[in-house]
């Protein structure tokens, strides 16, 4: 049995899958390092562990593999689906990319094929949550020109949010903290990067932040039309699981 193990990154996954895809084959099992799961089918054969180590000088860029039939759109669909962190997503991506090679660029027209439908479903789920956080993210001032926001997202949307906020707040230093995964995107006015950060590492607000939050709540309350309050509709667009990271209090 071929058990393909990779470093947990999307690039690492593609680097590991590429030799199989070139041969129009798939591994039996794909799993992240340090996440061992028992094989579904018992076997007396010794598992073959495939290393994801790259040769010196090899850039781990999926598009650099030039896999025939895998378009930019297909790469993006696969990457977005990967960020869903759904169980078995690696195998789904492998099957999707192999189908893309077989169909020579027309893979995303096969909407009734489970291999395409699964990837589209998870990619849409990731993009929908990214779009939601583009409007829901709340930054707090924690220092001189330094702002902090925290999220607890279902999907790993941090790599998608960071470029958006680099363009939106290019003149401010900020931190977006993904507490669930204990990582944070940091922007220093030049570049952004993702680092490890404990879920409990929550900074204190600056002295001016309390006044800014009171003004925001006052504005939020002043524009509300109490007679037209619709909690069900509000929770549809702003689910309660996100309320803890908001400055205002929905539903009031």
pLDDT, block means (10 residues), the chain with 252 residues: 84 88 89 55 41 37 67 90 95 94 83 92 96 92 92 94 94 96 95 93 85 79 76 76 77 58
220 found inside a domain: yes
Looking at 110, 128, 146, the residue that finishes a domain is 128
Q: How far is CA 154 from CA 2, 126, 180, in A?
A: 31, 9, 8
Closest CA to 98 of 27, 18, 21, 42: 21
Same domain? 62 vs 95: yes
SS3 state at 221:
helix
Looking at 107, 128, 149, the residue that finishes a domain is 128
Structure confidence at residue 43 (pLDDT): 39
Same domain? 171 vs 204: yes
Sorted by sequence, the CB contacts under 8 Å of residue 148 that are 6+ apart come out as 139, 140, 142, 174, 175, 177, 203
SS3 state at 245:
helix
Structure confidence at residue 54 (pLDDT): 37
Question: How many domains is the chain partitioned into structurally?
Answer: 2
Cα–Cα distance, 6 to 8 (Å, whole number): 6
Looking at 111, 128, 145, the residue that finishes a domain is 128
Same domain? 43 vs 84: yes
Domain limits for position 156: 137-245
The answer, as to whether pTM is greater than 0.85, is: no
Same domain? 181 vs 236: yes
């Amino acid at each position: 049995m071929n058990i393909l193990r990779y470093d947990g990154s999307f690039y690492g996954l593609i680097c590991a899958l590429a030799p199989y895809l070139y041969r129009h084959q798939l591994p039996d099992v794909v799993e992240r390092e340090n996440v061992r799961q028992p094989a579904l089918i018992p076997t007396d054969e010794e598992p073959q562990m495939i290393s994801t180590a790259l040769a010196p000088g090899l850039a781990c860029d999926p598009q650099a593999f030039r896999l025939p039939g895998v378009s930019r759109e297909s790469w993006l669909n696969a990457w977005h689906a990967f960020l869903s962190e759904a169980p078995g997503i690696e195998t789904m991506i492998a099957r999707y990319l192999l189908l893309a090679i077989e169909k020579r660029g027309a893979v995303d027209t096969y909407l009734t094929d489970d291999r395409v439908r699964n990837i589209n479903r998870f990619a849409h789920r990731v993009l929908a949550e990214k779009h939601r956080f583009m409007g829901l993210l709340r930054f707090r001032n924690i220092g001189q020109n330094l702002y902090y926001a925290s999220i607890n997202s279902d999907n790993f949307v941090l790599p998608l949010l960071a470029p958006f906020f680099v363009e939106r707040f290019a003149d401010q230093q900020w931190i977006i903290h993904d507490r669930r995964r204990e990582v944070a995107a940091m922007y220093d006015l030049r570049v952004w990067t993702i680092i490890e950060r404990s879920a409990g590492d929550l900074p204190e607000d600056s002295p001016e932040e309390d006044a800014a939050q009171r003004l925001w709540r006052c504005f939020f309350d002043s524009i509300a039309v109490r007679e037209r309050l619709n909690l069900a509709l509000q929770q549809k667009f702003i689910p309660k699981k996100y309320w803890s990271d908001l400055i205002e209090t929905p539903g009031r």
